[in-house]
Amino acid sequence: MDPIGILQSITLLGVVKVMMGILLLVYAIFALLMMRQIAAMTRAVAMKDDLVIRMMGVFHFGFAIVVLVMAVIFL
Amino acid sequence: MGERLSVKKIREAVGRLGSDSLFTSLSSFPAQVGFETQDDGETVVLFIRQHPIVNVGWVLLAIVMLTLPSVFGFFPPYALLPMGYQFVVSLGWYLFVSGFALAKFMGWFFNIYMVTDERIVDVDFKNIFFRRISTAKIEEIQDLSIQSSGALETFFGYGSVFIQTAAEVPEFEFLAIPKPDKVGKIINQMIDMEEQEKLEGRVK
C-alpha cells in the first residue's frame, strides 16, 4: 500500500484505540513494578499479616491485565 | 533465647502502647515485626507510622474520582465514543484510581519509624521508585525535639519528633506520628539507659 493510502486509512478511532492500548500496556508494567516494590518492602520490613498488602499489589496488577485484555477485546 | 535484661528494663519502662494489627500507627514491642538489617537479639521497642488522619485527604479525593465516570457522559469527546470504547475508558479510569489509592496507601503503610533497643530506624518510602532505610545508634542521638502545631494536630493528638544525631544521617524526622510526647519520652529514657549501660557495662 502506498504511504498516502496508509495515511488515508488512519481514523480518529484508530488513533484512540492505539493510544489506549499503549497507555494500558505501560500501566500494566507500572502495576508490575508496584507489585515488585511491595514484595521488596515486605522483605525489608517484615510485619505480621503482610500477605494482605502483597495481595493488594497482586490484585491491582491483575486488574491492569484484565483491563488490557478488555481493551484488546472491545476496541 | 531469653530476653536481655536491658530489654526487660525498657519493656517495664515503656509498657504497652497501641495494637499489633497490620495497620497500626503505634505499637510497642510489636509481635512478628522485623527488618532487613536487624541484628540477632535486637528488639523492636516502638513501631510507628504516621497518624491515620493524614490519609483523609487522598481518601476523599479517591472517592470523588470514583464518582467521576457518572459525569463523563456530559462531556462530548466521551459521549461521542462507541459503547465499547466508553466501557474501556471507564474501566481504565477505575484502574487509574485504584493505582492512585494503592500508591498513596503504600506511601503511608511503608513509611515506618522504628526504635529498637539499639538504634532508631527510618524507613522512607516516597514513591514506588524510591525507598531508603536510615539508622542511627541510640548513643549517637544528640538532641531531640517534639513539635505539635495546628488545630488538627492538637485535636487528634499527633505531631512530629525531630532527632539530631552524630550518625551519617544528621536528622531523623518522625513526622505526624501519634503521641509524639510519649515517643519522645521513651527515646529519652532509652538514651539515659544507654548512657547508664556505658558506665556500668552492658547488662546481659
Grid cell locating B188: 529519652
| B-chain residue closest to A65, CA distance | B95
Contacts of A58 (CB under 8 A, 6+ apart): A35
Can you tell me the distance from the alpha carbon of B44 to that of B110, in angstroms, rounded to the nearest whole number? 16
For chain B, how many helices (H) and strands (E)? 7, 9
Answer whether B22 sits within 8 Å of A41, measured CB to CB.
no
Whether the model pTM is above 0.90: no
Answer whether A20 sits within 8 Å of B92, measured CB to CB.
yes
More confident residue, B41 or A64: A64
Select the highest-mean-pLDDT range: B12-21, B95-104, B130-139: B95-104
Q: Which of residues 11-50 of A touch B (CB under 8 A)?
A: 13, 16-17, 20, 23-24, 27, 30-31, 33-34, 37-38, 40-41, 43-50
Report yes or no for ipTM above 0.95: no
CB pairs under 8 A between A and B: 96
pLDDT value at B80 more than 90 = no
pLDDT value at B43 more than 70 = yes
Can you tell me the distance from the alpha carbon of A35 to that of B132, in angstroms, rounded to the nearest whole number? 18
Q: H helices of A1-75, where?
A: 3-9, 12-44, 51-74
Task: Give domain status of residue A50, yes or no.
Answer: yes
More confident residue, B110 or B77: B110
Answer whether B131 sits within 8 Å of A41, measured CB to CB.
yes
Q: How confident is the model at residue B132 (pLDDT cuts 50, 70, 90)?
A: confident
| B-chain residue closest to A55, CA distance | B102
Can you tell me the distance from the alpha carbon of B26 to that of B33, in angstroms, rounded to the nearest whole number? 13
- Dump pLDDT digits (tens) for B180-193: 999 999 999 999 88
Can you tell me the distance from the alpha carbon of B86 to that of B78, in angstroms, rounded to the nearest whole number? 7
pLDDT value at B1 more than 60 = no
Q: How confident is the model at residue B40 (pLDDT cuts 50, 70, 90)?
A: confident
Res B5: pLDDT: 64
pLDDT value at B172 more than 90 = yes
User: A52 — contact with chain B (CB < 8 Å)?
Assistant: yes
Answer whether B89 sits within 8 Å of A20, measured CB to CB.
yes
pLDDT value at B123 more than 80 = yes
List the domain range (segments joined by +) for residue A65: 23-74
Can you say how many angstroms the Cα of residue A2 is from the centroid of all Cα atoms in its chain?
34
User: A56 — contact with chain B (CB < 8 Å)?
Assistant: yes
> If you average pLDDT over residues B103-121, what whole number do you get?
93
Can you say how many angstroms the Cα of residue B133 is from the centroid of all Cα atoms in its chain?
12
Q: In total, how many domains does chain A have?
A: 1
Burial of A64 (0-12, 13-18, 19+ CB in 10 A): buried
For chain A, how many helices (H) and strands (E)? 3, 1
Res B202: pLDDT: 60
Answer whether B33 sits within 8 Å of A33, measured CB to CB.
no
User: B19 — contact with chain A (CB < 8 Å)?
Assistant: no
Task: Give domain status of residue A12, yes or no.
Answer: no
List chain B domain ranges: 5-50+111-200, 56-106
Does the B5-50+111-200 domain belong in CATH 1.10.3720.10?
no
Q: How confident is the model at residue B93 (pLDDT cuts 50, 70, 90)?
A: very high
Q: Phi and psi (nearest 5°) for B148?
A: -140, 115
User: To probe the interface with A, which of B42, B49, B89, B91 has the most A CB atoms within 10 Å?
Assistant: B91
Task: Give domain status of residue A66, yes or no.
Answer: yes
Answer whether A44 sits within 8 Å of B32, measured CB to CB.
no
- Dump pLDDT digits (tens) for B51-60: 999 999 999 9
Per the prediction, chain B carries an average pLDDT of 89
pLDDT value at B204 more than 80 = no
Grid cell locating A31: 502495576
- Dump pLDDT digits (tens) for B12-33: 888 888 888 888 999 999 988 9
User: B93 — contact with chain A (CB < 8 Å)?
Assistant: no
| B-chain residue closest to A25, CA distance | B92
